């Protein structure tokens, strides 16, 4: 059974702005993030790009099939919130040191990746990565703001894409609408001491790890046609790799984290 890093990672999230219930809220500037209280999980209407055919599901186990049976397959994305442990931090720094600045753009780009330049937007960008990449992109309404964000991002380079998102009013409004919808409390600790949101998606037969604070999108390995982001191979190359880093170099301490999977509405 997974240990939740936060006690309020909800299921039944059917559009991008509603998904923001689980993220660290923010404005454009460093305003401190806010977290919604667990008793408020009502849907929130928004122009931000509803995807009525999809929803997020809580992931209760990475190993017990019975604990995954409630999630329709294939799962389209896996979004994980996980603390930055010393072992993972060291691995990230070593991996990033071998990478050149990301230069991907255009229609042939295997995934659309956003560099994070908005303070406390780790969760926001994780949700965006999950919604606009891989098979989930086929469910986006063509006239939605989410579709516009995706379309505008495709031809842009890394820095221009980050600037576009920074100045994107619908992206900001979606999160502010959640922040204003219910009780919230300020969290001024900052992301480095808190959780990092990482999205795992399948695109082009590959598993991709997407996080805005890395040097670029990370290809983790190949997946067969019948494998999704919750398949054993994807989990081994993805979230379990991070767990193993902590078990090996972190003194065997329990790692508290939470996962939600994006899939068709049941």
- For residue 144, the model assigns a pLDDT of 86
Q: Where are the beta strands (DSSP E) in 59-151?
A: 77-83
Structural domain span for residue 133: 16-264
Q: What total number of domains does the chain contain? A: 1
The dihedrals phi and psi of 70, each to the nearest 5 degrees, come to -80, -5
Ranges 31-40, 42-51, 177-186, 213-222: which has the least confidence: 31-40
Closest residue by Cα to residue 6 from 83, 64, 61, 63: 83
Query: Is residue 197, in this structure, part of any structural domain at all?
Result: yes
Give residue 258's pLDDT band: very low, low, confident or very high (50, 70, 90).
confident
Model pLDDT for residues 98-116, shown as the tens digit of each residue = 999 999 999 999 999 999 9
Query: Is residue 35, in this structure, part of any structural domain at all?
Result: yes
10-41: b (≥16 Cβ within 10 Å) or e: beebebbbbbbbbbbbbbeeeebbbbbeeeeb
Query: Is residue 201, in this structure, part of any structural domain at all?
Result: yes
- For residue 249, the model assigns a pLDDT of 64
Query: Is residue 223, in this structure, part of any structural domain at all?
Result: yes
Query: Is residue 52, in this structure, part of any structural domain at all?
Result: yes
151-167: b (≥16 Cβ within 10 Å) or e: eebeebebeebbeebee
Query: Is residue 11, in this structure, part of any structural domain at all?
Result: no
Query: Is residue 1, in this structure, part of any structural domain at all?
Result: no
- Asked whether residue 221 carries a pLDDT value surpassing 80, the answer given is yes
For helices 158-166 and 145-153, angle between their N-to-C axes, nearest 10 degrees: 150
Cα separation, 90 vs 245, in Å, equals 10
CATH number, residue 249: 3.40.532.10
Give residue 43's pLDDT band: very low, low, confident or very high (50, 70, 90).
very low
Query: Is residue 255, in this structure, part of any structural domain at all?
Result: yes
* pTM for this model (two decimals): 0.80
Higher pLDDT, 201 or 191: 201
Closest residue by Cα to residue 49 from 152, 145, 113: 145
């Amino acid at each position: 059974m997974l240990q939740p890093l936060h006690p309020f990672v909800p299921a039944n999230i059917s559009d991008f702005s509603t998904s923001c219930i689980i993220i660290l809220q923010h404005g454009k500037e460093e305003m401190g993030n806010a977290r919604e209280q667990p008793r408020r999980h009502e849907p929130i209407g928004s122009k931000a790009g509803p995807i009525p055919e999809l929803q997020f599901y809580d992931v209760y186990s990475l190993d017990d099939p019975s604990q995954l049976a409630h999630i329709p397959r294939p799962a389209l994305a896996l979004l994980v919130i996980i603390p930055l442990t010393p072992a993972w931090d060291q691995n990230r720094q070593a991996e990033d040191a071998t990478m050149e600045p990301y230069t991907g753009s255009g229609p042939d780009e295997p995934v659309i990746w956003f560099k994070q330049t908005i303070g406390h937007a780790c969760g926001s960008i994780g949700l965006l990565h999950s919604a606009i990449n891989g098979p989930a992109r086929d469910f986006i309404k063509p006239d939605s703001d989410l579709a516009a964000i995706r379309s505008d991002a495709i031809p842009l380079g890394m820095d221009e894409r980050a600037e576009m998102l920074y100045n994107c009013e619908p992206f900001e409004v979606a999160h502010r609408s959640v922040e204003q919808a219910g009780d919230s409390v300020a969290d001024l600790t900052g992301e480095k001491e808190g959780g990092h949101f990482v999205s795992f998606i399948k695109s082009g037969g590959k598993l991709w790890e997407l996080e805005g604070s890395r040097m670029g999108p990370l290809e983790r390995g190949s997946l067969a046609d019948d494998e999704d982001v919750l398949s054993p191979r994807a989990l081994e190359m993805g979230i379990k790799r991070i767990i193993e880093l902590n078990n090996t170099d972190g003194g065997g301490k329990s790692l508290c984290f939470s996962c939600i999977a994006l899939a068709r509405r049941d």
